[in-house]
Structure 1
Amino acid sequence: MHQMSSDLQTCIGACLRCYQSCLGMASNHCLPAGGRHVEPEHFRLMLACAEICRTSAHVMLIGTEHHKHMCRECADVCEDCARSCEAVGDMQHCVEQCRACAESCRKMAA
């Protein structure tokens, strides 16, 4: 296995935590809450955020330089998701995880 920098390991962890948060909140918080939590634009964004975080972590684990492109897009999607979750309300954990992932991914994309 290739040697991973601490920044890369940190970003993989942030992506996986965000993936877990978005998917978990969508399934276990948004669906039962209903209303604004399941409006299609918001709910799809949460699922897209979870998927791009999972994919970004996967690409970093593979060890290809293409992770920079994935991380750039992941940061954008995470920031959009954080804003959406903040606007819906009662989703602070998701907001925090998305912002932390966005910040870490921006560093990896540089």
Structure 2
Amino acid sequence: MEHKHGMMERQENSQLLKLLAECATECENCFDACLENERTEKLIRQIRLCRDCAKICYATSSFIASNSNHAKHLAKECADVCKDCADACSNKEDTEEELMHCGQICRKCEEACRKFAA
């Protein structure tokens, strides 16, 4: 019975790991798009949040993949950073596709990290 539980947990973690990687990659793309934008000065908050979000997603996925005792704590922090990034990138004034997509994936990652950390 315990073996099946471990397999289910690994499958759930596998989905979270994929989502963390997708979120980190999207934040990196958004970061680059903001730097190349004529509105770069106005997008500084998003640039910094995307950079931070990518970093914590990479770190969190590493902790989860290695079954670290600190994975749940880091996932909670990751959820908070993903929320901040999603909020900033979902600003209705910003029409860049990269920002909108980043906001969407960050929201999904936030929810998945909160579920994992619970």
Kindly state the Cα deviation for residue 7 of structure 1 after the two structures are TM-superposed: 1.4
Find the counterpart in structure 2 of residue 99 from structure 1: 107
Aligned partner letter, 2:55? E
Q: Which has the larger radius of gyration?
A: 2
Q: Which consecutive unaligned segments of at least 5 residues does structure 2 have?
A: 1-5
Paired residues in the alignment total 108
Higher relative contact order (CA 8 A, sep 6+): 1
Kindly state the Cα deviation for residue 58 of structure 1 after the two structures are TM-superposed: 0.7
Distance, in Å, in 2 between the alignment partners of 1:49 and 1:82 is 10
Give me the identity figure in percent: 31
Which has the higher mean CA deviation after the structures are superposed, 80-89 or 47-56? 80-89
Q: Which of 59, 74, 91 pairs up with 1:70?
A: 74
Relative to the length of structure 1, the TM-score reads: 0.88
Q: Which runs of 4+ in 1 moved over 6 A?
A: none
Distance, in Å, in 2 between the alignment partners of 1:37 and 1:53 is 25
Find the counterpart in structure 2 of residue 86 from structure 1: 90
Which has the higher mean CA deviation after the structures are superposed, 87-96 or 14-23? 87-96
When the two chains are superposed, the root-mean-square deviation of aligned CA atoms in Å is 1.9
